[in-house]
Chain A
């Protein structure tokens, strides 16, 4: 006979294993659905929807591409230098305030960043634009990249920096020549994570890019479309055809995310000091 203590322990173990399994099941289910329905959509509508403008997803693909590049440039420059500052001068009050601001931005609902850009850029210029969307996305990725940059720089051993100082390098030389060099993989993975984040966000684009999907954007100042926004709006349409396009878009988005994820994985795994 088992005593009540042992029974309790067994019941507890079974419960937590079941709950853990339950917790990770959705990710398989979501991925399986996206691959199944996405491939089905491509099979039904043809691969041509990738390069079709009207009734295809080309404008969204182009828009997403432009948006992720542009927002990465804006966001990464800002996050990289701000991250350098915070890691290099951790005791300055500006650093402390910057840290608080970036941690808070991390928890701010992303839809609010779209609303901010709507007021400061879309309303004054009078029209939606890819640039406005990129600015909103840059604000979304900023805190993510900053955290990665800070952590990567903080993990650089003091010994290496001292070696730099001992041969007469200035603080700036040590920072850019030694620390950034050693931390570059960590920084690169942060940049890629930010890129992935910007690529998949929908809410900041609702009020900034204008969902122009009947033509290709001619410049970054003209309205455009993005894959996540297209999925959101097509999912609410009654026609089967648009649902297929939404699943096809999801498949593209998920594959792009998985590629970035595994690249980051490799980068991080090889970081050994």
Chain B
């Protein structure tokens, strides 16, 4: 027993460092954003003005509304696009594909998850966005221009929709991993029961998806959290204009791309650093909230 205690106490400091790192993250980000919240109050979250000034806090205007809007909209687009693909991929991998194809799809998804995000960013900038503009956005605008979402002319491929599509590609592997875990937890007897009552493949899939609903919600939430925090790839394709528009072909901004673009200038302007940390605080809250709810959902989805 004495040796146990020794082992416990010699390993303990390292575990404590992990806890301390997380607490420190919260403390530092909150502490650094406090002056901005004190100075500008709610205006930070209700305006989109961004005009820094060297002279003092009174003459500069900071608003995070447009980047917040961009973060939410691009991440929601990503989840809406990725969720049906996630469900299909899980069904194909787990039910219909022969073992070799299953391994191949699994490996491809793992490579997709591991590729550096900056590579997606460069690809989005130089390959995806120009193609989407010519082959998707322009025809979409001409055919469905009466719908507000597609009503503005796509001047370039760099807009909120492109960011959403790129994010959908990037979060897909994470969403598949979470949904696949949930699917694997369905007991065999339930599957057999569904088949025994004569369900065809469509009805069977529908029943199974109903059973792992909490898992699918968790998958969507984790995908959303990832998408909201993604920085460099989005900064390269979203256009970086603080704009709020119902049209998806307009450029936008996200909190993380705002941080990425403005951080180097921030020390020159009073309060700008603090405002960026306030943006960081919002991201932290979104990330932790999405993760916590997802964890609860996953524990609820354990059928066994």
Which residues of chain A have a CB within 8 Å of any CB of chain B?
5-6, 8-9, 12-13, 15-17, 19-20, 22-24, 26-27, 29-31, 33-34, 37, 77-78, 81-82, 84-86, 88-89, 92, 94-95, 97-98, 101-113, 115-116, 119-120, 139, 142, 146, 170-172, 175, 193, 196-197, 199-203, 206-207, 228, 231-232, 235-236, 243, 246-247, 250, 253-254, 257-258, 261, 265
Q: Is A30 within 8 A of B231, CB to CB?
A: no
How far is A97 from B24 in the complex, measured between Cα atoms in Å?
A: 14
B22: contacting residue among A29, A101, A171, A247, CB under 8 A: A101
Interface string of B8-34 (1 = CB under 8 A from A): 100110111111011111001100100
Residues of A near B22 (CB, < 8 A) are: 101-102, 104-105
B256 touches A111 (CB 8 A): yes
B85 touches A23 (CB 8 A): yes
Number of interface residues of B (CB under 8 A): 83
Complex partner residue of B18 from A37, A82, A196, A202, CB under 8 angstroms: A82
A-B residue pairs in contact (CB < 8 Å), sample of 9: A5-B200, A16-B92, A27-B111, A30-B120, A30-B123, A34-B119, A94-B15, A115-B277, A231-B118
Contact B287 A19 (CB under 8 A): no
Given A85-B12, A110-B229, A120-B28, check contact A228 B116 (CB 8 Å). yes
User: Chain B 113-146, CB within 8 Å of chain A: the 1/0 string?
Assistant: 0111111111101110000000000000000000
List residues of chain A with CB within 8 A of the CB of B276. Answer: 115
Task: Identify B6's interface contact among A139, A172, A193, CB under 8 A.
Answer: A172
Q: Is the CB of A86 within 8 A of B15?
A: yes
B231 and A95 within 8 A (CB): no
Partner of A116, one of B4, B29, B87: B29
Q: Which residues of A contact B236 (CB under 8 A)?
A: 232, 235-236
- A27 vs B107: C-alpha distance when bound (angstroms): 11
Interface status of B177 (Cβ within 8 A of chain A)? no
Interface residue from B3, B111, B202, B277 paired with A258 (Cβ < 8 Å):
B111
Given contacts A37-B126, A257-B114, contact A108 B12 (CB under 8 A): no
Contact (Cβ within 8 A) B116 A26? no
Query: Whole-angstrom distance from the CB of A266 to the nearest CB of chain B?
Result: 13
CB distance from A124 to the nearest CB of B (A): 12
Q: How far is the CA of A97 from the CA of B22 in the complex (A)?
A: 10
Q: Once the chains bind, are A20 and B89 in contact (CB under 8 Å)?
A: yes
B290 within 8 A of A: yes
Among the listed B117, B200, B226, B235, which residue makes an inter-chain contact with A6, where contact means beta carbons less than 8 Å apart? B200
B14 touches A20 (CB 8 A): no
Q: How many contacts A-B (CB < 8 Å)?
A: 250
Is the CB–CB distance between A107 and B116 below 8 Å? no
**Set A34, A89, A119, A235: member contacting B125, Cβ < 8 A:** A235
Which of A196, A206, A243 touches B263 (beta carbons < 8 Å)? A206
Q: Is B211 an interface residue (CB 8 A)?
A: no
Known: A196-B114, A228-B118. A9 touches B25 (CB 8 A): no
Structural contact, A247 and B92, CB atoms closer than 8 A: no
Q: Is B222 an interface residue (CB 8 A)?
A: yes
B194 within 8 A of A: no
Tell me if A246 and B122 are in contact (CB < 8 A).
yes
Q: Is B172 at the interface (CB under 8 A from chain A)?
A: yes
Is B37 part of the binding interface, using a Cβ–Cβ cutoff of 8 Å? no
Which among A82, A146, A171, A253 is the interface contact of B119 at CB below 8 angstroms?
A253
Contacts known (A101-B18, A116-B29, A202-B231); A108 close to B116, Cβ less than 8 A? no
Chain A residues with CB under 8 A of B8 = 85, 89, 92
- B7 contacts the other chain (CB 8 A): yes
Smallest CB separation, A136 vs chain B (Å): 11
| Residues of chain A within 8 A of B114, CB atoms compared | 193, 196-197, 200, 257, 261
State how many angstroms separate the Cβ of B11 from the closest Cβ of chain A. 4
CB distance from A205 to the nearest CB of B (A): 10
Q: How far is A146 from B14 in the complex, measured between Cα atoms in Å?
A: 11
Contacts of A26 in B (CB 8 A): 112, 169
Known: A17-B96, A104-B291. 17 other contacts (CB 8 A): A12-B202, A19-B85, A20-B92, A27-B108, A81-B15, A101-B22, A102-B18, A107-B287, A112-B25, A116-B25, A200-B119, A202-B117, A203-B256, A207-B264, A235-B122, A253-B118, A261-B111
B287 CB to nearest A CB, Å:
5
- Bound CA span A15–B28, Å: 48
